[in-house]
Amino acid sequence: MSADQRVGAPVRDDVAEPLLRRWWRRVPDRLDRRVVVAAWVSFAAQVLIVGTGGAVRLTASGLGCPTWPLCTPDSLVSTPEMGIHGLIEFGNRTLTGVVGVAAAVVLLLVLKVRHERRDLALLAATVVLGVVAQALVGGVTVLTGLNPFVVGFHYVASVALVCVCAAFLVRLRVSPAADGADRAPAGFVRATAALAGIAGVTIVLGVLTTGAGPHSGDPEAGRNGFDAALLQHVHAWPSYALVVVTSALTAVAWVRRMPVRAWCTVLVALQVAQVLLGLYQARNGLPAVAVGAHMVLAALLAAATTVTVLRVLGLGTPSPRASAA
């Protein structure tokens, strides 16, 4: 037996290098179906973790794993003694790894086209870094005993990552050379910018409202100290304004036969559904299932808003060549 064949011998450079080369040959040099599938998987995983994070909070499992990064001081995983709350919290932590792998795969798949498509490389890298940051924020959330402001920031950051993934999907289908070519009229652009701002305010007020409500994630967790009943009304006002502004934009888009009209319609439908769901949960004592659905729908609404804004700016109109890929 040669020295290189002995157990524990270091891997030779002439063996490792061909492995690296073989891996690099498998990386696509164009935006093919693998990139599209991976991007959709990453987007779905980001939305799913918003739902599981909500489940952790709404089932009072926020401290199901009382320590971080371990689940208990002596165990990485939940133990039978921790019951269902430990399983729910550890399941959400495990999904973070899945989300991270999905994001990393997308980044790897665009490495060869990073010079031609810097936009995609930047968006993919942002998601990877965001997932890492989110894992750290999740640890801070546990270590601070589910501080409502930290929990709220954790949710807002998750929604932001959903938006970045949505932007990647939009940009995946466009030709950078055509950026801005189908930009909407200036007045329509300004109204869309106002729409995006109102949507952001609505989400933040919703987070503050939840932070003042009964779903703290754990019986011992504190609340943010705001008046929950008052915040419900304050949160509703920009929601109604959002529906009005989007409805007006949708009407204009259809009258002028603008390419963005379909997305405007989707957006206003999501907003109306969100308002109705919010009214239902407010009038029925904030049932956990309704609150969880409201959280997930808010993430989807933010994603749809991102797509609409990009389309209005002419940064998301599919080119025939990109669509064929």
Domain residue extents for the chain: 29-173, 179-318
Q: Which residues of 178-189 are buried (b: 16+ CB within 10 A; e: fewer)?
A: ebeebebeeebe
Question: Could you tell me the pLDDT band of residue 82, with boundaries at 50, 70 and 90?
Answer: confident
Q: Give the pLDDT mean for 119-146.
A: 95
Give the DSSP H or E segment for 260. Answer: none
Question: Could you tell me the pLDDT band of residue 201, with boundaries at 50, 70 and 90?
Answer: very high
Question: Could you tell me the pLDDT band of residue 173, with boundaries at 50, 70 and 90?
Answer: confident
Which has more confidence, 182 or 238?
238
Q: Give the pLDDT mean for 226-235.
A: 91
Question: Could you tell me the pLDDT band of residue 178, with boundaries at 50, 70 and 90?
Answer: low
Question: Could you tell me the pLDDT band of residue 322, with boundaries at 50, 70 and 90?
Answer: very low
pLDDT for 323:
42
Residues 95, 49: contact at Cβ < 8 Å?
yes
- Tokens representing 169 are 């999907």
pLDDT for 184:
86
Alpha carbon distance 128, 104 (integer Å): 6
CA atoms within a 13 Å half-sphere pointing along the CA-CB vector of 91: 18
Q: At a CB cut-off of 8 Å and minimum separation 6, what does 107 contact?
A: 121, 124, 125, 127, 128
**Residue 144 scores a pLDDT above 50:** yes
Which has more confidence, 28 or 71?
71
pLDDT for 312:
93
| Identity of the residue numbered 230 | L
CA end-to-end distance (rounded Å), the chain? 50
